[in-house]
């Protein structure tokens, strides 16, 4: 039942708004709204009950194992939430002057420093509000760099075919043409194809390493050389830093610019869709172009650097300071972990993924790259099951829900057919990983003996399989009051 269906005209939840009508207006009739909005009219309890009940219909990290590949669904420490919501932080107006902002600025400055160290880059800007905006900032800096050198022949961005959709979409937003580079059968970039593709028109390449195929790109230095020699820059999609935290730095691999998804590696919550934070780090040559605002420090005083302090900056990409509250959460997490904790993240994320891959292999499942080590994630393909049993990846995924597991990422990356991209993260216990493996085995058995059962899943959730085609065809995007 929708909240609107619980609404009744003239029900006022009085304490939540001023109790008495305002007596002055001064707003002429011509500017005034004629008809009241459809906002629900419910009591406080009705609202609380409605949204409490709704929340219970969700799978989440706090309730379920959620091995969604490329999403790093690990535990979000509650302290990060509680401490980032201290009144002093929540109440700070974005235009609050520096002398009333030293506490907040100190956190932002520290976080910049930590992220510099983690990525091996020269400088970091915290502003971008998610991974995709970080990518935008990065590619816009690449454009600004070439522009500053009057090198306007560079019209193309190279993107491996395994790349996340945000990569090509970002290149387009920065007015670059996208050229796809194929992957070889081991999951590495096809170096010969790359060599053939680069040229004076190459503005740069966008890479993820470990790639979204769940493997580490071994010839990364060679790739960097090829692109750099052609005058292009290297962009690192750092959405998936979890596997290499403390182990290897993008700066050392030769990257010029990187964005990080703090809502993955730094464990800020995903909130059912966001918010995230996508800070960018750059090598020396891109430093002047970093988006503002930045935080600087002089004599133990922190202060902002804005447009006027950074004339070559690509400017600001958010009205104020990006998703400040998310940045605070990431900072708290980083302080809880410390350097030794960061190493451990990579180690145990990798251990969990490799263990899971090994056990699923033993159980007879096919891996996309069976000869590779897994990073923090790995890809399993159900091509065989789809062909022989008529049970495809989506069926497995839905059936996993019945077993109490959120499904891994399905049908991504696009180049592996019938794939599941599985990322257990370091915060899951062996027991839960084993339980997932058992569920996969059980579903495999079901698929062999009772395929229809698997294909009809899920059975135990608030709804059964939803009709996506109908959703897109008979668009119903908002509730309308019944005609009165």
Partner 1 sequence: MPFIPHTDEDIQKMLGAIGVNSIDELFAEIPNELRSDDGLGNVAEGMSEMEVSRLMKERAEADARTLCFAGAGAYEHHIPAAVWELTTRGEFYSAYTPYQAEASQGTLQLLYEYQTMMSSLTGMDVSNASLYDGGSALAEAVLMAVRANRKSKSRRVLMPRTVHPNYRRVANNIVKNQGIVLEELDYDREGGFIDPDNLPKDPGDFAALIIPQPNFFGVLEEVDALTNWAHEHKALVIAVVNPTSLAILTPPGEWGETGADIACGDGQPLGAPLSSGGPYFGFMCCRDSFVRQMPGRIIGRTTDLDGKEGFALTLQAREQHIRRSKATSNICTNQGLLVTAATIYMSLVGAQGLERVASACHENTLNLLDALADVSGSNKLFNRPLFHEAVIQLELPVEDVMRALSVQGIIGGVSLADDYPELGNAILVCATETKTAADIETFIAALQRIAKRLTANACPVQPKMA
Specify the DSSP element, H or E, that contains 433: helix 430-449
Report, in Å, the least distance between residue 52 CB and a copy of itself. Answer: 5
Q: Is 15 in the site for a copy of itself (CB under 8 A)?
A: yes
CA 106 – CA 137 distance, rounded (Å) = 24
Q: Is 49 in the site for a copy of itself (CB under 8 A)?
A: yes
Q: Is 461 in the site for a copy of itself (CB under 8 A)?
A: no
Cα-trace Rg, the chain: 25
Q: Which of 247, 384, 387, 445 binds partner 1 (CB under 8 A)?
A: 247
Peptide bond into 341 cis (omega under 30): no
CA 53 – CA 462 distance, rounded (Å) = 11
The b-or-e profile of 380-413 (16+ CB within 10 A means b, else e) is bbbeebbeebebbbbbbbbbbbbbebbbbbbebb
Q: Is 321 in the site for partner 1 (CB under 8 A)?
A: yes
β-pair type (257-260, 280-282): antiparallel
Residue 236 CB coordination number (10 Å): 28
Q: Is 421 in the site for ligand PLP (CB under 6 A)?
A: no
By CB under 6 A, what part of segment 46-105 binds ligand PLP? Answer: 70
Contact 236, 164 (CB under 8 A): no
Q: Is 363 in the site for partner 1 (CB under 8 A)?
A: no
Query: Which of a copy of itself, ligand PLP, partner 1, none has residue 458 at its interface (CB below 5 to 8 Å by kind)?
Result: partner 1
Q: Is 217 in the site for ligand PLP (CB under 6 A)?
A: no
Contact 333, 77 (CB under 8 A): yes
Q: Is 52 in the site for a copy of itself (CB under 8 A)?
A: yes
Binding segment for a copy of itself (CB under 8 A), chosen from 25-33, 54-62, 101-109, 378-386, is 54-62
- Number of residues forming the site for ligand PLP (CB under 6 A): 14
Q: Is 287 in the site for ligand PLP (CB under 6 A)?
A: no
Report, in Å, the least distance between residue 239 CB and ligand PLP. Answer: 3
Considering Cα of 372, then 374, then 377, then 378, what sign does the dihedral take?
positive
By CB under 6 A, what part of segment 106-135 binds ligand PLP? Answer: 130-132
Q: Which of 112, 121, 125, 136 binds partner 1 (CB under 8 A)?
A: 136
Q: Is 237 in the site for ligand PLP (CB under 6 A)?
A: yes
Q: Is 350 in the site for partner 1 (CB under 8 A)?
A: yes
CA 215 – CA 235 distance, rounded (Å) = 18
Q: Using alpha carbons, select from 345, 358, 353 the residue that is nearest to residue 427.
A: 345
C-alpha distances out from residue 295 to 95, 106, 123, Å: 14, 8, 11
Binding segment for a copy of itself (CB under 8 A), chosen from 32-40, 422-430, 458-466, 472-480, is 422-430
Which token pair is 204? 């740069």
Which token pair is 167? 């990569």
Q: Is 340 in the site for a copy of itself (CB under 8 A)?
A: no
Q: Is 13 in the site for a copy of itself (CB under 8 A)?
A: no
**Would you tell me which residues interact with ligand PLP (CB under 6 A)?**
70, 130-132, 164, 166, 208, 212, 237, 239-240, 261, 276, 278
Q: Where along the sequence are the contacts to a copy of itself (CB under 8 A)?
A: 6, 8, 15, 43-46, 48-49, 52-53, 56, 61-64, 75, 77-79, 336, 427-429, 431
């Amino acid at each position: 039942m929708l909240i609107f269906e619980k609404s009744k005209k003239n029900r006022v939840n009085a304490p939540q708004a001023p109790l008495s009508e305002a007596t002055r207006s001064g707003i002429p009739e011509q500017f005034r709204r004629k008809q009241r909005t459809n906002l629900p009219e419910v009591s406080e309890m009705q609202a609380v009950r409605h949204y409490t009940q709704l929340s219970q219909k969700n799978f989440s990290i706090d309730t379920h194992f959620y091995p969604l590949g490329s999403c790093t669904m690990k535990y979000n420490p509650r302290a990060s939430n509680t401490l980032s919501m201290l009144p002093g932080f929540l109440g700070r107006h974005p235009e609050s002057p520096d002398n009333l902002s030293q506490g907040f600025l100190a956190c932002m400055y520290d976080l910049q420093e930590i992220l510099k160290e983690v990525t091996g880059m020269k400088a970091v800007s915290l502003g971008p509000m998610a991974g995709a905006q970080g990518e935008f900032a990065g590619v816009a800096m690449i454009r600004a760099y070439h522009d500053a050198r009057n090198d306007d022949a560079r019209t193309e961005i190279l993107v491996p075919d395994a790349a996340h959709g945000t990569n090509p979409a970002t290149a387009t937003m920065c007015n670059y043409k996208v050229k796809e580079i194929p992957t070889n059968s081991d999951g590495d970039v096809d170096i010969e194809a790359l060599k053939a593709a680069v040229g004076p028109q190459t503005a740069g390449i966008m890479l993820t390493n470990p790639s979204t195929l769940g493997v580490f790109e071994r010839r990364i230095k060679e790739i960097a050389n090829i692109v750099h020699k052609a005058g292009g820059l290297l962009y690192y999609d750092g959405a998936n830093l979890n596997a290499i935290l403390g182990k290897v730095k993008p700066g050392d691999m030769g990257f010029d610019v990187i964005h990080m998804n703090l809502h993955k590696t730094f464990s800020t919550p995903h909130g059912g869709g966001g918010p995230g934070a996508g800070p960018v780090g750059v090598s020396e040559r891109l430093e002047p172009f970093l988006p503002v605002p930045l935080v600087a420090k002089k004599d133990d005083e922190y202060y902002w650097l804005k447009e006027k302090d950074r004339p070559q900056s690509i400017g600001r990409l958010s009205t104020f300071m990006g998703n400040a509250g998310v940045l605070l959460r990431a900072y708290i997490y980083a302080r809880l972990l410390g350097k030794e904790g960061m190493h451990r993240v990579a180690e145990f994320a990798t251990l969990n993924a490799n263990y899971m891959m090994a056990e699923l292999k033993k159980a007879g499942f096919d891996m996309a790259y069976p000869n590779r080590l897994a990073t923090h994630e790995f890809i399993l393909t159900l091509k065989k099951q789809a062909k022989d049993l008529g049970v495809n990846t989506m069926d497995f995924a839905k059936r996993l829900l019945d077993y109490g597991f959120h499904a891994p990422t399905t049908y991504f990356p696009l180049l592996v057919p019938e794939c599941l991209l599985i990322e257990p993260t370091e915060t899951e216990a062996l027991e839960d990983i084993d339980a997932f493996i058992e569920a996969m085995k059980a579903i495999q058995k079901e698929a062999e003996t009772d395929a229809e059962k698997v294909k009809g899943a899920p059975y135990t959730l608030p709804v059964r399989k939803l009709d996506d085609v109908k959703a897109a065809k008979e668009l119903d995007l908002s509730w309308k009051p019944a005609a009165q």
